[in-house]
A = this chain, B = another copy of it.
Amino acid sequence: MGEAGAGQRRGRAAQREARAQRTAGLGRPYILRNIPTYDILGEDNLVRIEQAADRILAEVGVEFRDDPASLELWRRAGALLDGVRVRFEPGMLREILKTAPPSFTQHARNPERSVEIGGKSVVFSPAYGSPFVMDLDHGRRYGTLEDFQNFIKLAQSSPWLHHSGGTICEPVDTPVNKRHLDMVLSHIRYSDRGFMGSVTAESRAEDSIEMARILFGPEFTDANCVILGNVNVNSPLVWDGTMTKALRAYARANQAGVVVPFILGGAMGPVTNAGAIAQSLAETMAGCALTQLERPGAPVIFGNFLSSMSLRSGSPTFGTPEPAIGSMVIGQLARRLNLPLRCSGNFTTSKLPDAQAMNEGTMSMLAAVHCGANFILHSAGFLDGLLSMSYEKFVLDTDFCGALHSYLDGVVIDDNQLAVEAFKEVGPGAHFFGSAHTMANYQTAFWDSELADNDPFEKWELAGSADAAKRANALWKKRLAEYQAPPLDPAKDEALTDFVARRKAAAPDAWY
């Protein structure tokens, strides 16, 4: 574990900058962590996990289904093929992964919002993939394109997120084969931050990348990361062709794939944490290595998604202790591979923005922060076991993301912060309220939540005894009402609109 002191000068500057930017309504583009990662295993045990992953890869192997081009890449790289089953000699994938960059920049259309992914950087992105949306007024229903755009606007309005995300919710009122066009266009129009494209078909991945090319120019796009694609392993140990084709499309265009097993312990993986971690390592290494065969040097993110299940009901559980612990180990393994990490997020099975939601969410989000995740995809919005995006939870979570900015700034140790002279000024038994040291430092001292109620009980009661969910309900409405779209070059908007129209006209709507 490293020493945080070296980064403290930067930490202090970052605090000041954060305060300045907050006043101006802007957040930092991303966080540079000033606290070390929380490393919970030693070398011996990490090696044991790596050896288990190597044995899984060599003795069981991974299936690459419905994608002969992937099989051909593996064959040429020296893997052992048996039909669609691919086996790997120990060490082979690690060797291939050496061409992947340890850190890269994802450019945003507003250069001030470009993010670094890797090293000490931490990027918060909205949650991804729910079919449903929820709010306190109307309960749960299927997401629409309007909801999708609302969440982009809420994300863009928050100084505590750094990224616009991808499929924040499924816009089920748009045709399945065309909604990626509406989603990418919405990200570009309503946010000036980085975003993610489609992966649900190779052609949709290529459409997404093509829209990024229109926005950033084809040469810039070929030389720089401007869009991410999040692909899932069909755990255990299966890569479906839809995913590998999309993954290769992003790599081919020099764009970053995010490679993510979804292991529900006891179902898609063993019920023991160590085994699920070894499996995750094996599956992710295989996916990441495939990008390097497609295009050596293409950026790729080592992703992970552990969860547990209720042994009474068989239901998935989230925000529980075992995946939190597992995330810390995954972080150590990713750093040993020298790859940027996506891990964990703000997870819960609660159906309301209540005590359970924030207990589980805080547990899993802190695991993401502690494990050294560079790109935290599901930072805000999830309820209902990842099936619903909640408007209230979204603003509760973004507020918590704000607290995590201060948390990741750590503690600065210098003469001003140590304040010995202030003790001489104030002396025993007196208070520091009006002291010169307090006056000089109070503006940057403490995180100040927009949603927490810190008032005395009587004042809170007089104001209507609202709970946090009710305050969140008022806040997201205020944010949407005040939202203003960031300026977009009209020529680019027109070119994108034209592209979308042409692509939509090229095929009939499909709803499945």
Is A484 positioned at the interface, with any CB of B under 8 Å from its CB?
Answer: no
B455 and A313 contacting across the interface, CB-CB below 8 Å: yes
Is A292 positioned at the interface, with any CB of B under 8 Å from its CB?
Answer: no
Is A488 positioned at the interface, with any CB of B under 8 Å from its CB?
Answer: no
Is A510 positioned at the interface, with any CB of B under 8 Å from its CB?
Answer: no
Partner of A356, one of B407, B443, B451: B451
A385 to B456, CA, bound (A): 8
Is A437 positioned at the interface, with any CB of B under 8 Å from its CB?
Answer: yes
B317 and A270 contacting across the interface, CB-CB below 8 Å: no
Q: A239 CB to closest chain B CB, in angstroms?
A: 9
For window 311-365 of A, CB contacts with B under 8 Å fall at 311-313, 315-317, 320-322, 324-326, 329, 349-363
For window 377-414 of A, CB contacts with B under 8 Å fall at 384-385, 387-388, 396, 400, 403-404, 406-407, 410-414
Q: A88 CB to closest chain B CB, in angstroms?
A: 13
Interface size on A, residues (CB 8 A): 135
A320 and B354 contacting across the interface, CB-CB below 8 Å: no
A55 and B420 contacting across the interface, CB-CB below 8 Å: yes
A35 to B41, CA, bound (A): 8
Neighbouring B residues of A45 by C-beta, 8 Å: 3-5, 8, 413
Q: Is the interface of A mostly helix, strand, loop or mixed?
A: mixed
Neighbouring B residues of A498 by C-beta, 8 Å: none
Chain A positions 444 through 465: 1 when the CB is less than 8 Å from some CB of chain B, otherwise 0: 0111110111111100110001
A321 and B403 contacting across the interface, CB-CB below 8 Å: yes
Q: A241 CB to closest chain B CB, in angstroms?
A: 13
- Cβ contacts A to B, 27 pairs, < 8 Å: A3-B42, A4-B42, A5-B45, A35-B40, A52-B419, A59-B420, A59-B424, A236-B431, A265-B446, A266-B445, A266-B446, A270-B437, A270-B438, A272-B417, A273-B411, A310-B446, A312-B448, A313-B455, A316-B454, A317-B452, A321-B447, A349-B454, A351-B461, A354-B354, A355-B355, A355-B358, A360-B452
A residues lining the B interface (CB < 8 Å): 1, 3-5, 8, 35-36, 38-45, 48-49, 52, 55-56, 59-63, 85, 132, 140, 234, 236-238, 265-275, 277-279, 308-313, 315-317, 320-322, 324-326, 329, 349-363, 366, 370, 384-385, 387-388, 396, 400, 403-404, 406-407, 410-414, 416-420, 422-424, 426-433, 435, 437-438, 441-443, 445-449, 451-457, 460-461, 465, 467-469, 472
